[in-house]
């Protein structure tokens, strides 16, 4: 049988949707490594907690490899890239319910190369408005 797609990205999308459907605020716990693109000023003990609500993010996209979105930190918009392998958990801020995962250090470091990460972030360009007469 071919290699199966891991269940982790599906669980992340499901818990995110569950939080949103119940009016809860989804938060992501991330182990920061060389592939993650997050504001380093907010990293504590190699981890960061990110608000994934639609009001706190822009262009949120969760696929099988990564979570990509824009968010404001200190009033400055930043593009974030979080490989699924770096996610330690997703939970509701209000009650702590969610799902937590073991982060495999080997898997975490062997994911996308930094050039690939920059390409994915660059591909998520802002929409433009063109006036057609």
113 lies in a domain? Answer: yes
Residue 1, both tokens: 């049988």
59 lies in a domain? Answer: yes
State pLDDT tens for residues 8-35. 999 999 999 999 999 999 999 999 999 9
34 lies in a domain? Answer: yes
pLDDT of residue 127: 54
Sign of the Cα pseudo-torsion (111, 77, 70, 119, in order): negative
Q: How far is CA 77 from CA 29, 41, 71, 132, in A?
A: 20, 14, 5, 29
Residue 28 sits in a domain whose CATH number is 2.30.30.220
Find the domain containing 65 and state its range.
8-123
Q: Are 19 and 26 in contact (CB under 8 A)?
A: yes
Angle CA 18–33–30, to nearest 5: 20
63 lies in a domain? Answer: yes
pLDDT of residue 2: 79
132 lies in a domain? Answer: no
State pLDDT tens for residues 70-81. 999 999 999 999
Question: Residue 55 CB: number of other CB atoms within 10 A?
Answer: 7
């Amino acid at each position: 049988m071919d290699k199966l797609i891991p269940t982790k990205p599906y669980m992340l999308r499901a818990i995110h949707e569950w939080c949103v459907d119940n009016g809860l605020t989804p938060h992501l716990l991330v182990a920061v490594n060389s592939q993650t693109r997050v504001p380093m000023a907010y990293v504590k003990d190699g981890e960061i907690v990110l608000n994934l609500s639609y009001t706190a993010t822009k262009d949120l996209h969760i696929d099988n490899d990564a979570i990509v979105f824009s968010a404001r930190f200190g009033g400055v918009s930043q593009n974030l890239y979080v490989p699924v392998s770096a996610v330690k958990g997703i939970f509701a801020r209000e009650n702590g319910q969610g799902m937590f995962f073991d982060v495999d250090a080997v898997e975490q470091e062997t994911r996308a190369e930094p050039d690939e990460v920059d390409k994915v972030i660059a591909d998520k360009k802002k929409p433009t408005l063109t006036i057609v007469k």
